[in-house]
Amino acid sequence: MKKFLPLSGLLVFAALLPGCADLFQEKVALNRGSSDLGSLQDLLQPVSTEPIVLAAPTQLYVADAQSPSVIRLGWNAVAGASSYSVERAVLEPLSEDVFPPEPAEGDFEVLEAFVYATSYTDSIIPEPGQNPSEARPEYRNRYYYRVRAENVRNGLDPSSPSAVGMGTLFAFPRNVRAGKGVSGAEIRVDWDRVKGAASYRVYRSEYASGAAPLAVARVFGNQNWYRDAGIEKNRDYYYSVEALTPLQVPSAAGPLALGYAIAENAPGKLSVRLAAGFGRGHHTDRIRVEWVPDPAPGVTYAVYRYSSADSSLTPLARGETAAFWEDTAGLEPGIFYYYQVQPSGTGSGGTALKGPFSDPVEAFILSPPVTVLAEKSGTLVSLKWFPVIGTPAEQAAWSYRVYGSNNSAGPFHELRTVSAPVPVGSDGYVHADGVGDYSVYRFYRVSTFNSLSVESVPGATVSPHPAAALIQHVSRGAFLAGEAPNGSGVYPVRIGWKKPADEEPAFYHLYRSAEPDSGFRRITTNPIPGGSGGEFSFIDQNRAARVGRWYYYRLLSLNELGQGSAWSDTLAGYGALSYEQYMLEYNKTVLSSQKKLTLMHKPNNMDKLGSEIKYGTISGSISYDARIENPGARIIMRYENYADFFIGGDSSRGVYFAVTGNTNTTTSISGNGKMDGTMECTGMYPGKVYYDNVEIKGGAAGGGTYGIEPEGFPRGEVNWLVGEKR
């Protein structure tokens, strides 16, 4: 059906002539039903400018400790969503079982952009059985997830994020230990409990590789030990343990543990200790252990090691005849090492008799601090760090040296020594205030120095996090030369900012949200280079931006190491509209105003003559005046600051469209004519709409163009048919 132009619904008067009532021809009546002219009543449906907002997904379920390789997610469907995006943040432990607080906004990254179901599987370790080393960080990390609903094809904004859910992998049993000569009748196997385990299965192998394992026991999840009596004395066995979920999903097998039952006449248990000056932060590359009693004729010794990073027992030496061993095999700072020694004698017939393992002795090399934070006040830089590994007495006895450089690659210069005894603050950190001048030294390292004049390797390079950038503006409906609108008719947004005073962040990351206080998502794939230019800008090609929506932006300043924590203030902006979209959005207010008029909706054409005034829901008025003007009709519609809608339905954001001006129609007896008038628009999208090129044919809009001139844009012409769309 051909419809009356929404802005010229009074064209029925084109056939009204003085004293010629017989010329009130039906061809120009407003109620022609299925005629090609349509009915103004078709245009009077309620119109809303409130954006369609997707709800955030609810009931996010994150399977915690249910699989050794994947974490599964599920959530409730959202009405209007065509897909979902899954975001993830990964938190690593600061130390054993000590984690940072829940992730910050900037920690989340888009894991999967288009998920066409209400579930998702995050494959973290594709083949967990290939490397069950306890050193794998995936089994210690915590994984945080949130989900957004999206409908890109309809130009809707992503929803706010769901509530955050946390999950972990179903870990294998750690610290598997087997008795080594403790008993002559059995081998006891112990292990750490596993979160989510309903039961455990114990395997035994006769090979050091763990090949051909035999399942010897299955115990309930509340038991983390097993006594194996089905063994031969003086024979090595290798045990592994796997955990099972309530659904019988097995974990990867834990590390192998050597065990054996002692035979009669085997050598006795040794007492192992660290050699004086070798073992607890004395050196950076060696640890020496020694044992008593002194070697006996025919007795040899095997030395084994495990660590706080890997509980697998590693043989370092066999067949030793001396009463000491010095370890230099790939020692790393920040790790506790544990040493055990096994004596072996000779029985009847030349059979080797394995004695019991010694109790473990703990050792570590001199290590730098692993957690160092740099903070800046003015140009002065202060550092703080956790003490290195060791007992409180040992930690207090070491000094720390602070080094600075203006280049992350060095060279580094010694700045200060924090001498022993080292005080530790109530927050658990060692504090070194005012160690450097940021205008001279931007990068810092800390090493540990002991009483033997041995210095550790330097710790990681750190730099103060830069101050927050200063957002200067976010464009609102601005014309950006050379840019094109997205599929919803919305142009990009330009964000401009200045560097913080007296600082030059190396990079910036930009974040956007449809909400003012939450739901921010990083929109820069690569960080934006900073530098000394002072002023910066970025154009947000938001392909999902839609009309009538504000978008909120904030910046994160980063140092050269890619670190940052200072957020800028948040500013809102939105893109301009294409000419056609501008006409459509403007027209919603005009349609709403016409709904309030009464004379133009009278069933009898003669009753439509006259004048009336109606008022906007928010402000202003619309006046209507229809008169016979020989040889046709003249209809004048005058708007004075008329407004019906707030931006997004929120009064605090202001009026969507407020219009002032005329939309007038002049027709002849034949129903042909033209429109005239100009409407000035204020509100979210300032501009002008011109009617001087709209043609009237047969009592309805039938040709020509609307002139559209958004503020800052040149005038453009829009086909009259755009005004017919709703």
Q: Pull the structure tokens for residue 62.
A: 């994150």
**Residue 528 and residue 506 share a domain:** yes
Residues 6+ apart with CB under 8 A from 717: 579, 693, 705, 706, 707, 708
Query: Residue 113: how many CB atoms within 10 A of its CB?
Result: 12
Residue 480 CA neighbour count, 13 Å, CB half: 22
Peptide bond into 293 cis (omega under 30): yes
- List the one residue out of 704, 706, 702 whose CA is nearest residue 681: 706
Cα–Cα distances in angstroms (integers) from residue 581 to residues 152, 484, 689, in the given order = 17, 13, 12
Flag whether 246 is in a domain.
no
Peptide bond into 421 cis (omega under 30): yes
One-letter amino acid of 41 = Q
**Residue 642 and residue 557 share a domain:** no
Q: Of the residues 417, 449, 481, which one is the last residue of a structural domain? A: 449
The C-alpha atoms of residue 476 and residue 511 are separated, in whole angstroms, by: 17
**Residue 105 and residue 35 share a domain:** no
User: Residue 206: helix, strand or coil by DSSP?
Assistant: coil
The C-alpha atoms of residue 288 and residue 276 are separated, in whole angstroms, by: 8
One-letter amino acid of 487 = G
User: So what's the pLDDT on residue 649?
Assistant: 85
Residue count of the chain: 726
**Residue 666 and residue 560 share a domain:** no
User: So what's the pLDDT on residue 262?
Assistant: 94
Reading across the β-sheet that carries 287-292, which strands appear in turn? 271-274, 287-292, 324-327
Q: Are strands 61-62 and 70-74 parallel, antiparallel or unpaired?
A: antiparallel
**Ramachandran region, residue 216 (left: φ > 0; alpha: ψ -120 to 50; beta: rest):** alpha
Q: Of the residues 521, 547, 573, which one is the last residue of a structural domain? A: 573
User: So what's the pLDDT on residue 37?
Assistant: 32
pLDDT digits (tens, 9 = 90+) for 498-532: 999 888 899 999 999 888 888 788 999 899 999 77
Flag whether 326 is in a domain.
no
pLDDT digits (tens, 9 = 90+) for 253-296: 778 899 999 999 899 999 999 999 999 999 999 999 999 988 78
The C-alpha atoms of residue 85 and residue 79 are separated, in whole angstroms, by: 15
Domain span at residue 626 reads 11-50+585-724
The C-alpha atoms of residue 146 and residue 158 are separated, in whole angstroms, by: 13
The owner of tokens 């979902």 is 84
Flag whether 408 is in a domain.
yes
Q: Where are the alpha helices (DSSP H) in 308-424?
A: 392-397
The C-alpha atoms of residue 418 and residue 129 are separated, in whole angstroms, by: 46
**Residue 154 and residue 104 share a domain:** yes
CATH (domain of 77): 2.60.40.10
Flag whether 226 is in a domain.
no
Neighbour-count burial of 191, counting CB atoms closer than 10 A to its CB (0-12 exposed, 13-18 middle, 19+ buried): buried
The C-alpha atoms of residue 721 and residue 25 are separated, in whole angstroms, by: 25
pLDDT digits (tens, 9 = 90+) for 310-323: 888 889 999 999 99
Flag whether 289 is in a domain.
no
- List the one residue out of 384, 377, 382, 381 whose CA is nearest residue 438: 381
Instruction: Tell me the percentage of the chain whose pLDDT exceeds 70.
Output: 91
Overall domain count for the chain:
4
**Residue 546 and residue 671 share a domain:** no
User: So what's the pLDDT on residue 346?
Assistant: 86
| Segment holding 590, helix H or strand E | helix 579-596
The pTM for the full model equals: 0.69
Flag whether 95 is in a domain.
yes
The owner of tokens 């160690």 is 435
What are the φ/ψ torsions at residue 516 (nearest 5 degrees)?
A: -75, -25
Ranges under pLDDT 50 in the chain: 1-49, 130-131
The C-alpha atoms of residue 359 and residue 351 are separated, in whole angstroms, by: 25
Distance between start and end Cα atoms, the chain? 14
The C-alpha atoms of residue 496 and residue 503 are separated, in whole angstroms, by: 17
User: So what's the pLDDT on residue 131?
Assistant: 45
Q: Pull the structure tokens for residue 385.
A: 């760090």
Q: Of the residues 514, 546, 573, which one is the last residue of a structural domain? A: 573
The owner of tokens 């888009």 is 110
Percent helix, percent strand, percent coil in the chain, to nearest 5: 10, 40, 50
What are the φ/ψ torsions at residue 167 (nearest 5 degrees)?
A: -145, 160
| Segment holding 579, helix H or strand E | helix 579-596
CA 204 to chain centre: 44
Flag whether 28 is in a domain.
yes
User: Residue 1: helix, strand or coil by DSSP?
Assistant: coil
**Residue 720 and residue 591 share a domain:** yes
- List the one residue out of 660, 721, 693, 598 whose CA is nearest residue 10: 598
- List the one residue out of 635, 630, 691 whose CA is nearest residue 659: 691
User: So what's the pLDDT on residue 129?
Assistant: 53
The C-alpha atoms of residue 177 and residue 304 are separated, in whole angstroms, by: 13
Flag whether 150 is in a domain.
yes
Q: Pull the structure tokens for residue 511.
A: 């974040």
**Residue 534 and residue 403 share a domain:** no
**Residue 718 and residue 638 share a domain:** yes
**Residue 425 and residue 405 share a domain:** yes
Concatenating the DSSP letter of every residue in 388-402 gives PSS-HHHHHH-EEEE
Contact 255, 176 (CB under 8 A): yes
**Residue 505 and residue 555 share a domain:** yes
User: So what's the pLDDT on residue 534?
Assistant: 77
Q: Identify the sign of the CA torsion 180, 181, 186, 190.
A: negative
CATH (domain of 429): 2.60.40
Cα–Cα distances in angstroms (integers) from residue 110 to residues 106, 522, 545, in the given order = 11, 9, 18
**Residue 619 and residue 699 share a domain:** yes
User: So what's the pLDDT on residue 96?
Assistant: 64
Contact 386, 369 (CB under 8 A): yes
User: CA 248, 249, 250 angle in degrees (round to 5)?
Assistant: 105
Q: Pull the structure tokens for residue 253.
A: 């097998």
Contact 287, 337 (CB under 8 A): yes
